[in-house]
C-alpha cells in the first residue's frame, strides 16, 4: 500500500465514522470516488469509468469534496 492509498482509506474511514448512517457505496459517491459522467441524465444509474484515475486525483477529489461539506 502506498501513502496515497493510506490517506484515501483514512479519509474514508473518518467520513464513515462521522456519518455512520451512510451505506459504504453512498460514502464513495458522496466523496466523489464514484462519479456520474458530466453529460449523463441525473437519474441514470450510470457511473463514470474511473479505472484509469490516478490515486492522487482520487485523493484530491475527496479533499475537495470534504472542503465543500465544511463551507
Is residue 61, in this structure, part of any structural domain at all? yes
Is residue 32, in this structure, part of any structural domain at all? yes
Contact between 37 and 69 under an 8 Å Cβ cutoff? The reply is: no
pLDDT at res. 40? 65
Is residue 42, in this structure, part of any structural domain at all? no
Domain encompassing residue 15 = 3-36+47-70
- Into how many domains does the chain fold? 1
Is residue 52, in this structure, part of any structural domain at all? yes
Residues of the chain with pLDDT under 50: none
Q: For the whole model, what pTM was predicted?
A: 0.83
Is residue 41, in this structure, part of any structural domain at all? no
Q: Is 46 left (phi over 0), alpha (psi -120 to 50) or beta?
A: beta
Contact between 8 and 58 under an 8 Å Cβ cutoff? The reply is: yes
pLDDT at res. 41? 76
Is residue 30, in this structure, part of any structural domain at all? yes
Amino acid at each position: 500500500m502506498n501513502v496515497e492509498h493510506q490517506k484515501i482509506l483514512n479519509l474514508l474511514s473518518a467520513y464513515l465514522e462521522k456519518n455512520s448512517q451512510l451505506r459504504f457505496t453512498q460514502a464513495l459517491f458522496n466523496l466523489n470516488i464514484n462519479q456520474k459522467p458530466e453529460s449523463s441524465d441525473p437519474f441514470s444509474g450510470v457511473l463514470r469509468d474511473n479505472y484509469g484515475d490516478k490515486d492522487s486525483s482520487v485523493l484530491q477529489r475527496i479533499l475537495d469534496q470534504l472542503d465543500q461539506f465544511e463551507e
